[in-house]
């Protein structure tokens, strides 16, 4: 029987009986093992494991993927309790999928990573990856997959890249990763400034595979393509119509040497204004990155404006305005604006990445407009404050 005095004193009386000691110790030990985190069970990596991990990383960075896979495989098979095994298993799946291209081994190591190491955010990604690899294996598309992966891993120019991707899509029209190939093709054509082909590539991608960035790129490519076709044709039509109108007025019949000498002051002043505007062109930027516009391009655009000035000279000496001076005052600014807009639109839009430059100029114009509005508001507020102080 238990000692009543010991119980009243609050002592753990069951320890006085040696029969309870060993069961309690065993239960405590088991409980502590269950409470330890999984990472705590992993022993610190030995020097050998660290050396293997470093060798695998160095080989991968050098492009020696077979050697990298060998080092990672040694870690995965001979050091199962090491912390480096997680990274080794992940790299084995990547190497066999992207570089050495062995679908069965890629499925094996990606599956193991998914089962043992993948975090909650990685699970959907690896599940989708494994599903795609399994479909490629089941439908015997290993050769198409190898061709596509070799295209992606080769550091080719964009010209060579689009040729290889076009051949791949033509040779394997039912390729399971066709949407991925079209995605790469669309961006490659965009970098080459071939906007029509870029838009068509994005348009061919399945709607459920289009990401938000893909949609933006498709919209830009489609819009840039139309800027060089539909809107360019409109600009050419406007310019042609304005020249036809001027020539129909027979302006040469009213031109004199005095009026021609007066006209020559306009081009001279315009060239001086262009030279003074060089710092303004150099300040153009988008998203913090400066836009480099060569000086030759700026002066070429200035030269084009001389054509507009010559057209304006002919317009003002047309016979039609002889009895209509008021109509000339009202219509000549509008017609001159149409001619200037048409000429400069064609000049910019046919430059490399010209449609993108148009977008940047529009953004810059909106910025200047907002700055001007803010300046006017500040000036108005300062004027009101000064008037209140005077009172």
pLDDT above 60: residue 47: yes
Q: So what's the pLDDT on residue 86?
A: 93
For residue 242, give Cα distances in angstroms to 5, 163, 239, 320, 328.
118, 43, 5, 14, 14
Q: So what's the pLDDT on residue 274?
A: 73
Tens digit of each residue's pLDDT (9 = 90 or more) over 50-79: 899 999 999 999 989 999 999 999 999 999
Q: In angstroms, rounded to a whole number, what is the distance separating the alpha carbons of residues 270 and 274?
A: 6
Contact 344, 277 (CB under 8 A): no
The average confidence (pLDDT) of the chain is 81
Q: So what's the pLDDT on residue 237?
A: 95
Closest CA to 205 of 223, 221, 184, 220: 184
Contact 162, 188 (CB under 8 A): yes
Write down the domain spans for the chain.
4-36, 47-138, 144-228, 230-351
Q: In angstroms, rounded to a whole number, what is the distance separating the alpha carbons of residues 111 and 89?
A: 10
Q: So what's the pLDDT on residue 74?
A: 92
Mean pLDDT on 166-194: 92
For residue 376, give Cα distances in angstroms to 109, 280, 367, 371, 386.
65, 21, 14, 9, 15
Lowest mean pLDDT among 21-25, 244-248, 272-276: 21-25
Q: So what's the pLDDT on residue 347?
A: 84
Lowest mean pLDDT among 26-30, 119-123, 131-135, 219-223: 26-30
Q: So what's the pLDDT on residue 24?
A: 45
Q: Which residues contact 281 (CB under 8 A, 6 or more apart)?
A: 293, 298
Mean pLDDT on 144-170: 90
Looking at the structure, give the CATH architecture of the domain made up of residues 47-138: Alpha Horseshoe (1.25)
Neighbouring CB atoms inside 10 A of 304's CB total 14
Token pair 């000692």 is at which residue? 3
Looking at the structure, give the CATH architecture of the domain made up of residues 144-228: Alpha Horseshoe (1.25)
Q: Which residues contact 243 (CB under 8 A, 6 or more apart)?
A: 311
Closest CA to 306 of 333, 332, 338, 344: 344
Q: So what's the pLDDT on residue 155?
A: 80
Contact 198, 221 (CB under 8 A): yes
The better pLDDT of the pair 290, 201 is held by 201
Q: In angstroms, rounded to a whole number, what is the distance separating the alpha carbons of residues 306 and 314?
A: 12
Tens digit of each residue's pLDDT (9 = 90 or more) over 73-130: 999 999 988 889 999 999 999 999 888 888 999 999 999 999 999 999 999 999 999 9
Q: In angstroms, rounded to a whole number, what is the distance separating the alpha carbons of residues 199 and 88?
A: 40
At 289, phi and psi to the nearest 5? -105, 130
pLDDT above 50: residue 9: no
The better pLDDT of the pair 302, 335 is held by 335
């Amino acid at each position: 029987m238990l000692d009543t005095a010991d119980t009243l004193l609050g002592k753990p009386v069951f320890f006085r009986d040696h029969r309870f000691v060993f069961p309690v110790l065993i239960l405590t030990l088991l409980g502590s093992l269950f409470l330890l985190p999984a990472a705590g069970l992993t022993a610190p990596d030995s020097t050998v494991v660290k050396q293997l991990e470093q060798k695998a990383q160095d080989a991968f960075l050098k492009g020696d993927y077979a050697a990298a896979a060998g080092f990672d495989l040694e870690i995965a098979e001979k050091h199962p309790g090491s912390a480096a095994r997680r990274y080794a298993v992940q790299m084995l799946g990547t190497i066999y999928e992207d570089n050495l291209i062995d679908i069965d081994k890629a499925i094996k190591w990606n599956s193991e990573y998914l089962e043992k190491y993948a975090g909650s955010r990685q699970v959907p990604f690896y599940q989708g990856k494994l599903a795609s690899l399994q479909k490629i294996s089941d439908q015997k598309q290993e050769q198409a997959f190898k061709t596509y992966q070799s295209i992606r891993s080769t550091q080719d120019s964009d010209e060579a890249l689009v040729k290889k991707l076009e051949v791949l899509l033509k040779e394997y029209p039912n390729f399971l990763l066709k949407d991925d190939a079209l995605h790469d093709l669309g961006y490659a054509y965009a970098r080459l400034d071939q906007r029509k082909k870029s838009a068509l590539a994005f348009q061919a991608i399945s709607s459920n595979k289009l990401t938000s960035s893909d949609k933006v790129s498709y919209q830009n490519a489609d819009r840039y393509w139309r800027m060089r076709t539909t809107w360019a044709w409109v600009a050419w039509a406007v310019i042609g119509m304005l020249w036809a109108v001027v020539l129909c007025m027979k302006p040469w019949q009213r031109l004199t040497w005095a009026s021609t000498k007066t006209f020559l002051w306009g081009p001279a002043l315009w060239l001086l204004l262009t030279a003074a505007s060089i710092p303004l062109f150099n300040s153009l930027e988008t998203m913090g990155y400066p836009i480099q516009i060569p000086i030759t391009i700026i002066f070429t655009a200035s030269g084009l404006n001389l054509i507009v000035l010559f057209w304006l000279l002919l317009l003002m000496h047309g016979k039609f305005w002889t009895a209509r001076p008021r109509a000339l005052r009202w219509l000549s600014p509008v017609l001159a604006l149409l001619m200037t807009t048409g000429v400069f639109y064609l000049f910019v839009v046919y430059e490399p990445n010209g449609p993108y430059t148009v977008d940047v100029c529009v953004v810059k114009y909106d910025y200047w407009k907002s700055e001007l509005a803010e300046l006017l508001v500040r000036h108005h507020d300062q004027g009101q404050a000064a008037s209140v102080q005077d009172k």
